[in-house]
Amino acid sequence: MKSFLLLTAALLLASATVAAAPNYEGRKKCGSCHRSQLESWEKTAHAKAMDSLAPKARAEAKKKAKLDPNKDYRHDADCVGCHTTGFSHEGGYDPKEPSKYLTGVGCENCHGAGSEYRLLHRKAGQAFEKKKQTTARQQLAEAGQEFQFEERCNACHLNYEGSSWKGAKKPYTPFTPKVDKKYGFDYAKAVRNDKAMHEHFKLEDVFTGPPIPPFRDEFQSKAKPAAKGKEE
């Protein structure tokens, strides 16, 4: 009986740790270790997504989508959800206190809210450096890191009325294939667009085992050497 109680207590503790929902923190933390990805990402349309909401920016595109090109949409709750990081989630973008590390479509929009898994990255990095010890990737998934991506892309790119994507709900994107065919979203093609995502850099395989992200081998086979940084 006593050991049963102990076991129950241990299980409760374990599930409490897993249940702690991760928060958004912004790209400063990620970028201080992953400097190459940060610098490459800074050149992408995702990084500059907030600029498109400013008055006069992309005036022709806005008119075509029946938006007002002179309006400032940078505080509009119908827009910022897809042009910032973690809007309406714990730690995410807040128009009342706009953090520059949460403007634009950032690391955590694709890789998941990072407060829990980034701690595991640090620990695993140290264990690898000191003893060449590797860490199971499964722990990262349990801490909220994303390895599939497609649903996250769809939630912004295919979120409109009449979309082929089942999860669509308001606020919708104004830029749909009905407005212009070029706004159609082909995931397999888009995810290979390094100019819109970020370029890929060599991993040392600190993490091992499932879930291995789709395209990992393809991207790593062409990856450049990474410039790493230390956490600030």
Question: Of residues 72, 78, 90, 151, which one binds ligand HEC by CB under 6 A?
Answer: 78
What distance in Å separates the CA atoms of residue 124 and residue 33, rounded to the nearest whole number? 13
153 forms part of the interface with ligand HEC (CB under 6 A):
yes
Residue closest to 200 by CA, chosen among 33, 20, 34: 34
- 188: helix, coil or strand? helix
Question: Of residues 22, 82, 91, 103, which one binds ligand HEC by CB under 6 A?
Answer: 82
Question: Of residues 94, 110, 165, 194, which one binds ligand HEC by CB under 6 A?
Answer: 110
Helix H segments across the chain?
2-19, 27-33, 35-41, 59-64, 80-83, 107-111, 117-131, 138-142, 150-157, 187-190, 216-221
38: Cβ contacts below 8 Å, ≥ 6 apart: 27, 30, 31, 107
Closer residue to ligand HEC in complex, CB, 17/215: 215
Q: Which residues sit at the interface with ligand HEC, rule CB under 6 A? A: 27, 29-31, 33-34, 37-38, 41, 45-46, 48-49, 52-53, 58, 61-62, 67, 73, 76, 78-79, 81-83, 105-111, 114, 118, 121-122, 125, 137, 149, 152-153, 156-157, 159, 171-175, 183, 190-191, 193, 196-198, 200-201, 203-207, 213, 215-216, 219, 231
